[in-house]
């Protein structure tokens, strides 16, 4: 057996699991079970949110290690389910490595990708529904929808103009949303600037990141949990700074 190909196969599957937002324990256990299914004894798997390391020792006593850096990513439940189902199937059937690699390579190509219009519509509708929860009226719902749509545009196209720095991108999106909320209220379109602002900024709140952080800590993966907690806190700080800057600029103008 070509153990280099087997290690590459398992690392690639783990990379796709991580990129889809899988839990650390799921990634480590999936790779471990896959390597055991192909006959390797006691493979070593270590994963944190931005790196994956897999090490095995061949029956001849030769150690092989692969490391894969994980870039920033969101959560893709559909891809996660596909990866999980494929891992279970490979563990049961153990097909030839070439066939298994082809199945892993084909995972991303079958993932549904939402159009930009659908993403923006989701931002507009989602933020609009938050306004009544915060005590807003019909005018606030309309303003929250417009501000949420604007925030969605900033989030969707921000990477092209602001690079990959999520902190500053979030701060700028927050500033734009809060400034627009203040302008709409001053023009008489909205009634309560606080309700509109908070509703619009809910699209930026790192709820999934914070939930994942607590889940990792409860599972015993402290490094991953603390890393995700720090990420969520930094995102919250960026939202607060951006909102304060946007409202301050609006009041000065």
Sequence-distant contacts of 164-167: CB under 8 A, at least 24 apart: 164/72, 166/72, 166/235, 166/238, 167/234, 167/235, 167/237, 167/238
Count of alpha carbons within 13 angstroms of residue 16, beta-carbon side: 27
Tell me the domain boundaries of the chain: 3-110, 116-252
Q: Tens of pLDDT along 110-126?
A: 666 778 888 888 888 98
The answer to whether residues 176 and 154 touch, using CB atoms and an 8 Å cutoff, is: yes
The tokens for 221 are 């993966």
Average pLDDT over residues 142-162: 84
What pLDDT, on a 0 to 100 scale, did the predictor assign at position 109? 63
Q: What is the pTM of this model?
A: 0.76
What pLDDT, on a 0 to 100 scale, did the predictor assign at position 94? 87
Of 148, 33, 162, 5, the closest CA to residue 92 belongs to 33
3-state secondary structure 143-200: HHHHHHHHHHHHHHHHHHHHCCCHHHHHHHHHHHHHHHHHHHHHCCCCCCHHHHHHHH
Q: Tens of pLDDT along 17-27?
A: 888 888 888 88
State yes or no: pLDDT of 214 exceeds 90.
no
């Amino acid at each position: 057996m070509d153990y280099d190909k087997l290690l590459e196969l398992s690392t690639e599957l783990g990379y796709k699991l991580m990129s889809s937002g899988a839990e650390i324990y799921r990634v480590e256990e999936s790779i471990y079970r896959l390597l055991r299914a192909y006959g390797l004894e006691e493979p070593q798997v270590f994963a944190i949110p931005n790196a994956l390391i897999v090490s095995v020792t061949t029956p001849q006593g030769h150690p092989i290690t692969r490391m894969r850096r994980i870039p920033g990513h969101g959560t893709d439940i559909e891809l996660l389910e596909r990866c999980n189902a494929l891992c279970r199937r490979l563990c049961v059937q153990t097909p030839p490595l070439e066939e298994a690699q082809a199945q892993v390579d084909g995972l991303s190509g079958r993932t549904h990708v939402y159009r930009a219009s659908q993403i923006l519509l989701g931002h507009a509708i989602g933020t609009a529904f938050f306004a009544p929860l915060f005590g807003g009226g019909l005018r606030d719902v309309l303003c929250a929808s417009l501000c949420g749509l604007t925030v969605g545009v900033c989030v969707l196209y921000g990477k092209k103009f602001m690079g990959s720095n999520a902190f500053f991108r979030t701060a700028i999106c927050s500033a734009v949303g809060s400034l627009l909320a203040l302008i709409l209220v001053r023009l008489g379109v909205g009634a309560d600037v606080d309700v509109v602002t908070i509703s619009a900024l809910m699209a930026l709140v790192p709820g999934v990141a914070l939930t994942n952080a607590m889940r990792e800590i409860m599972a015993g993966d402290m490094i991953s949990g603390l890393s995700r907690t720090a990420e969520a806190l930094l995102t919250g700080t960026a939202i607060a700074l951006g909102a304060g800057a946007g409202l301050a600029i609006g009041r000065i103008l």
